[in-house]
Structure 1
């Protein structure tokens, strides 16, 4: 696509232990677990690349050398535009972001290294600027593989809803657009989760918005999730918006 955007940098948090996917993460970090023949991290970068992103900052931690070695060999991306930073083995998300503060542009995208989507990133960015937001969250509706059971205080079932009947309940999909000013809400002296105290402070500025995405989104938290994504990959996956 290579459409001109106001933002050209994306930060990917890729340093977690991935304990719920331990079958795969004993020898590699979670973002390097494969969907099809490529790591999920590759899929994420291809998505952003499609929308014209050229600069990637990957915050590593657990087995970060595996990520570094992959991009030394991978020809799908220009190596000089990928900055890999070791942000600590057990650092929390806010702390990882704070550690790269000096190399961040004024506005940037942020995501995790474990989810894929068909999100139209250009529309997300346009929404961010239109609202004059300093922190924009993409709200997604998780794929439900099962129906939902509604029951009362005595656990008596009141209703059973099929997937098609479920109401839209948005959760954070991990696709963010941030203004660098939000870093002042992260305590540099404590190890902090971006999603906890910092976000609660940012909400109070009244400059935090949600961009609703009703399309495809899927996180890879467990082995079952990985198997589900592998299955989708074999049959026209919705997140594969690039041609090659």
Structure 2
């Protein structure tokens, strides 16, 4: 299946990094977030990517256009202007990069790249979230439901520690940032049927994929949740970037390749 990647937003919540490059190009372990996500999909056999470009999209184009240059040892002979590559660190990626507008919202970006999905089922995610889910299991689940959209869901963890107390206010125990609060949230990994185009009619440029299209899918009972109980983390802030860097150094849970 082809994989559509949202990579056009401004990433204002991590402006310390995004003022220089698109958020999906912020590096974890010396590689862009986008690369980590693509490596996960490629591990499960999905090597064709369609990237929705916007803010500073030329940097993403430059990275992939010169991928071999970025990742191979080389000898440059200035006498005859020749380059000899000494090793091959290429990836089996086929990457289509589409300018979907500087300020286009996610529903508009998705609509603009639909022609490149060849009217076939496809995968969709954002350029800032990492997961250790088995992508092919989500596809199998999607096929079993027969719905237009399957969304991988995770249980939301609390940002803060919680207190367990008696009715009289006596504290019994503390729990530091419990992982499972009981609420399921959107993890941002989707499987979609071509019929999704019916939910992207008209001008979608000012519409978020997470609002009107998904709400209409839910109203029509055409969206199912694949419950993932493993690792997931989104990089919205500099602190979260640093946390992911620390995880990478210790052996990242999302690294399946």
- TM, length-normalised to structure 1: 0.88
**Per-residue Cα deviation, 1:105-155 (whole angstroms, up to 9, x for no partner):** 32000000001110110100000001112110100134556423579xxxx
Cα distance, 1:165 vs structure 2: 7.5
Aligned to 1:194, the other structure's residue is in SS state coil
What pairs up with 1:52-201 in 2 under 5 angstroms?
Answer: 52-75=45-68, 76-78=90-92, 81-105=94-118, 106-142=120-156, 144=158, 146-149=160-163, 160-164=174-178, 166-190=180-204, 191-201=206-216
Q: How many equivalent pairs are there?
A: 231
Q: More displaced, 174-183 or 140-149?
A: 140-149
| d(CA) in 2 for partners of 1:56, 1:131 | 25
Change (3 A) 1:228 1:206: same
Aligned to 1:59, the other structure's residue is in SS state strand
Q: More displaced, 26-35 or 141-150?
A: 141-150
Cα distance, 1:92 vs structure 2: 0.3
Name the residue aligned to 2:34: 41
Name the residue aligned to 2:5: 12
Larger Rg: 2
Aligned to 1:111, the other structure's residue is in SS state strand
Gaps of 5+ in 1: 1-7
Cα distance, 1:103 vs structure 2: 1.4
Q: 2:226 aligns with which of 205, 208, 211?
A: 211
Q: Name the Cα RMSD after superposition.
A: 2.3
Q: 2:242 aligns with which of 199, 212, 227?
A: 227
Change (3 A) 1:198 1:158: farther
Gaps of 5+ in 2: 69-89
